Amino acid sequence: MEQFDEIFDQLGGILEYVVRIFTTTLFHIGETPFSLSSIITFILSVALLVFLTGKFNKFLVNRILARYDLDIGIRQSIGTIIRYFVLVLGLIVIIQASGINLSTLTVLAGALGLGIGFGLQNVADNFISGLIILFERPIKVGDRIEVGEVNGDVVKISARATTVLTNDNISIIVPNSEFISSRVINWSHNDRRVRFRFPVGVSYKEDPDKVRRVLLEVLYANEGVLKEPPPDVWFDDFGDSYLSFNLMVWTSMYVQRPKNLKSQLYYEVFRKFREHNIEIPFPQRDLHIKSGVISVKNHSNSALE
């Protein structure tokens, strides 16, 4: 029994030592003392707040707002704004529950503002730009955009940056400030329908009306080409050695993959031209010899550019 008493006394001493470590005041903020336990509680509370708001954001976007006739971009914007609002309120509650008087943080806020002014300008710029994007919505999740040399679909808009997914399945992280300060092409800002122009050339000996009929057959047969607005074939130009036409096609299926649609149409155009004996001209060169000087003149008349 005495041995057990000694063990319990030792365990009690160790426990008392551990409690003392966690409850010893390390520093003060204003009049509020902070110990290791209060710091751990504060960190865990903030982490739990971030985790729960993230889960709530997904539930709001994918379950609640999905019941209404709203596209994914609008739902994501609403969810992100609400999450930021809840995060701010939650942080205020956690700070006050920790016993910190918010008025004592004015000096810290001033120092933080000075730091932002000198060293965190880009971070602050991107954060404010992110808020502008969420409220003004020049771009939204699901849009097909071009900014600088980046071309792809917007898959995520966060506080600092926007994630763009290219056709090669590569995610590019673009700072939000680029969408505010640079020229942005949004292919689907107002409507998912986009019109593309694909050039086609034929020989001068061909009948333009016949060429137009054949090309329209190709366009109406492709499921990726919208029938309303209807596709059309424009007689564009008289080339050096070929007649130039433009395939005017509307699509909502291939907004992200215009080259895919172009390839499909060109395969079928080539097949139809052979079927109807419509000639696709070849590149030609004229050779001129004057006083021993040879000059070559190129005629680029590729039918399917």
* Total residue length of the chain: 305
Q: What is the CATH number of the domain that holds 143?
A: 2.30.30.60
Specify if 8 maps to a domain: yes
205 domain residue, yes or no: yes
Quote the distance between the C-alpha of residue 178 and its chain's center.
Answer: 12
Buried b (16+ CB within 10 A) or exposed e, 42-71: beebeeebeeebeeebeebbeeebeeeeee
Q: How many domains does the chain have?
A: 3
Separation CA 302–CA 285 (nearest Å): 13
CB 266 within 8 A of CB 198: yes
Does residue 288 lie in a domain region?
A: no
| pLDDT on residue 173 | 92
83 within a domain of the structure (yes/no): yes
Query: What is the reported pTM?
Result: 0.55
Is the separation of the CB atoms in 245 and 212 below 8 Å? Answer: yes
112 located within any domain: no
Per-residue pLDDT at 149: 84
> Cα-flanking dihedrals φ and ψ of residue 254, to 5°?
-115, 30
Q: Which residue has the tokens 């751990």?
A: 40
Same domain, 174 and 223: no
For every one of its 305 residues, what pLDDT tens digit does the chain have, with 9 covering 90 and above? Answer: 556 566 656 666 666 766 677 677 766 666 667 777 878 888 898 899 989 998 888 888 888 887 877 767 677 778 888 888 888 888 888 887 777 766 655 655 666 666 656 556 777 788 888 888 877 788 888 888 888 888 888 888 887 889 998 878 889 999 998 888 888 888 776 667 888 999 999 998 899 999 999 999 999 999 999 998 899 999 988 888 889 999 999 998 888 788 899 999 999 999 999 999 998 877 665 656 665 555 555 554 444 55
Predicted pLDDT of residue 300: 47
Is residue 300 included in any domain, yes or no? no
Quick one: pLDDT at residue 237?
Answer: 87
Residue 175, phi then psi, degrees to nearest 5? -60, 140
Residues 166 and 78 grouped into a single domain: no
Question: Which residues constitute the domain of residue 155?
Answer: 138-186
Q: Which of 186, 208, 225 is the last residue of a domain?
A: 186
